[in-house]
Amino acid sequence: MRDFISMKDFTKEDILEVLRVAKELENKNEELLKNKIVGSLFFEPSTRTRLSFTSAAYRLGAKVLGFDSPDATSLKKGETLRDTIKMTEAYSDIIVMRHNRDGAARFAADISRVPVLNAGDGANEHPSQTMLDLYTIQKELGSIDGKKIAFVGDLKYGRTVHSLTKALEMFNCEFYFIAPDVVQIPEYITRGLDKKGIKYHILFDYKEILKEVDVLYMTRIQKERFENIEDYKKVAGIHVIDKESIVGKCKDEMIILHPLPRVDEVKIDLDDTKHAKYFEQAANGVPARAAIFSIALDLVEAAKSELPEKDIRKSEEVVCENERCITNFEETDNKYVQDTEHKYCYYCNRDIKK
């Protein structure tokens, strides 16, 4: 069995195995999860992720229990995430969890006896979204290798962008990060690209690169992630695409993706163009997440690569400097990873500079 927590836990070969299984399971209702129970824990709002995980579970013959709001749980009484996970593992065979704290998924996986699937942890990662994004790119463009990808919008807090970048760097892709400075891609992401010699561009406007990119990946500015509402107001609605700004001005085969929900950054007049693939992308969540269930529970044949061992250390006190990290809200082992050049939080991947 295996957890799905971070794209750092996967090699290119592992990713291609997930995509292969997704293709095999698409449009099939094989009861691979018959007599299995899925614990679905959504501490943050969700439409596509929660429903597609549930749909995938049903199509594979599983039953689903859980909640879609912490307001209806004992968390309102002060129960910890640790105890919620320990209880849920007793009632289910696998846990799907979305949480508002960065690193919560890694923390849950450490204490759970059953596999944990990260359905988004704060502004950190969203690996199952990445798998369906990759599945969509492969399906629509024929391959992933060497593609040019432009990310537009909230790149600082966009967990979908963080996970997808980590995956696409394995496919030798070229990146365009297009955002105002206040929501530009975090330094820990670009440093990883620099270390691997991967080409990327930091830009403010998307118009100048439309003829170059294969994928335009739009994201909404996430109001709920901002601590200062004035910062949000400065960037809200700053990047908007519509039929007039895209059609005839981009590569003929360029596709537009969006993890959804959209607010006003993608106008509906684009929906019926050949470039718009965001609804197909959302639909691909079912086979992608069916593959993740099946692989996590060892119900299909899928090769798994061995990753290099990390130098994981513990501290007696909280060492992560990220105020949103789970280590500031739960009793953890305060683990961090000592790399050759720096150290970073084991849970939320943020740099530790002290």
Place of tokens 């981009």: 250
pLDDT over 90 at 313, yes or no: yes
* Percent of the chain with pLDDT strictly greater than 90: 80
Strands across the sheet containing 312-313: 312-313, 336-338, 343-345, 351-352
pLDDT for res 16: 96
What is the distance, to the nearest Å, from the Cα of residue 186 to the centroid of all Cα atoms in its chain?
A: 15
- Domain 129-282, CATH 3.40.50.1370 — does that match? yes
Give the lowest-confidence range in 89-98, 131-140, 190-199, 233-242: 233-242
Average pLDDT, the chain: 93
pLDDT for res 73: 86
Q: Please confirm whether the linkage preceding 70 is cis (ω < 30° from 0).
A: no
pLDDT for res 237: 73
Task: Determine the average pLDDT of the residues in 285-302.
Answer: 95
Q: What is the maximal distance between C-alpha atoms in the chain?
A: 59
Give the lowest-confidence range in 92-96, 151-155, 227-231: 227-231
Place of tokens 């990260």: 118
Q: How many angstroms separate the CA atoms of 209 and 176, rounded?
A: 8
Q: How many angstroms separate the CA atoms of 191 and 193, rounded?
A: 5
Give the lowest-confidence range in 13-17, 78-82, 179-183, 320-324: 179-183
Domain boundaries, the chain: 7-126+285-296, 129-282, 313-354
Q: What is the value of pTM for the model shown?
A: 0.93
Instruction: Read off the pLDDT of residues 185-209 as tens digits, 9 standing for 90 and up.
Output: 999 899 889 989 999 999 999 999 9
Residues classed as catalytic: 48-49, 77, 98, 126
Phi, psi at 290, each rounded to 5°: -65, -40
What is the distance, to the nearest Å, from the Cα of residue 227 to the centroid of all Cα atoms in its chain?
A: 22
Q: Considering only the top CATH level, what class is 7-126+285-296?
A: alpha beta
Q: How many angstroms separate the CA atoms of 330 and 324, rounded?
A: 11
Instruction: Read off the pLDDT of residues 39-88 as tens digits, 9 standing for 90 and up.
Output: 999 999 999 999 999 999 999 999 999 999 888 889 889 999 999 999 99
pLDDT bin (cut points 50, 70, 90) of residue 29 is: confident
Q: Are 333 and 314 in contact (CB under 8 A)?
A: yes
Q: How many angstroms separate the CA atoms of 343 and 354, rounded?
A: 9
